[in-house]
Amino acid sequence: MQIVRDLETLRRALTALRADGGCVAFVPTMGALHAGHMALVAEARRRADQVVASIFVNPTQFGPSEDLSRYPRREAGDAQMLDGAGVALLWAPDVAAMYPNGPEITVQAGPLGAELDGAARPGHFDGVATVVARLFDQVRPDVALFGEKDYQQLLVVRHMVRSLELPVEIVGVPTQRDADGLALSSRNIYLTEEERRAARALPRALGEAAQAIVEGQGVAAALAAAREKLAGAGFDPIDYVELRDAEMLAPLAALDRAARLLAAAKLGATRLIDNLPVQPA
């Protein structure tokens, strides 16, 4: 696997990769890779001849009081995992290579980016949209893979691609979980042992609420019960527990179409997010 850090070398490497006329799949990440990221790589390999991954901890999607400086970085181990999984090229620019002129021209994520996590993290999805647009322009993939774990991010990217008519297919990959149900996340390493045990309440509360809603219980009551379970497990604050339409995240008072149950809450110093699909019977 070739590791590339400057745009000129990237362009040359991509030209060589495409020489056989094969199609290129792209997996953007912030590194500290786990089995969730590797599921994206595996799906990328199924869908394309060549897989390009990126590692870039994007400063513009972190708020001023967030964890940018302590975000886990372990590129050597990550590169080994990607190499072993058949990735052809790792794009690992530093901030200066990514934003040589500073992030002066940015992409606005629009109304979808102002909801839920966008409300809790102002500017976050503008930062995501800006860096993903930039990465797409650099890598020019035929297909790009994103995890459903960050469901709102997946929708923002899909919406951006539609809106700007970018020539790339966006594929969502189901959330990979630990044995107790907790969604894999690079941030899980921040959890103390006790917090890690309590964290299983998040997927459990969402699963129980999703089941109650499918069985016809009122949405408001099911969401209130989930919030109570999270608070009981020590989550504080609970940013949101909401049932939203699966396409545009419009609020839903009843399960009258394909929906998504989404939550974000803090356990100690660590903010966790999760979501589940909820289909009308």
Smallest separation (angstroms) from ligand AMP to the CB of 228: 26
Q: Which of 34, 37, 124, 159 is catalytic?
A: 37
Smallest separation (angstroms) from ligand AMP to the CB of 28: 6
Catalytic residue status for 37: yes
Q: Interface with ligand AMP by CB under 6 A: which residues? A: 29-30, 36-37, 39-40, 146-147, 149-150, 173, 175-176, 183-186
- Of 50 and 186, which CB lies nearer to ligand AMP in the complex structure? 186
- Of 138 and 176, which CB lies nearer to ligand AMP in the complex structure? 176
Smallest separation (angstroms) from ligand AMP to the CB of 250: 22
Smallest separation (angstroms) from ligand AMP to the CB of 77: 14
Query: Mind giving me the DSSP string for the chain?
Result: -EEE-SHHHHHHHHHHHGGG---EEEEEE-SS--HHHHHHHHHHHHH-SEEEEEE---GGGS-TTSSTTTS---HHHHHHHHHHTT--EEE---HHHH-TT-S-S-----GGGGSHHHHHSTTHHHHHHHHHHHHHHHH--SEEEEEGGGHHHHHHHHHHHHHHT-S-EEEEEPPPB-TTSPBP-GGGGGS-HHHHHHHTHHHHHHHHHHHHHHTT--HHHHHHHHHHHHHHTT--SEEEEEEEETTT--B-SS--S-EEEEEEEEETTEEEEEEEEE---
Q: Which residue of the chain is nearest ligand AMP when measured via CB?
A: 147
- Of 205 and 223, which CB lies nearer to ligand AMP in the complex structure? 205
- Of 39 and 51, which CB lies nearer to ligand AMP in the complex structure? 39
List active site positions.
37
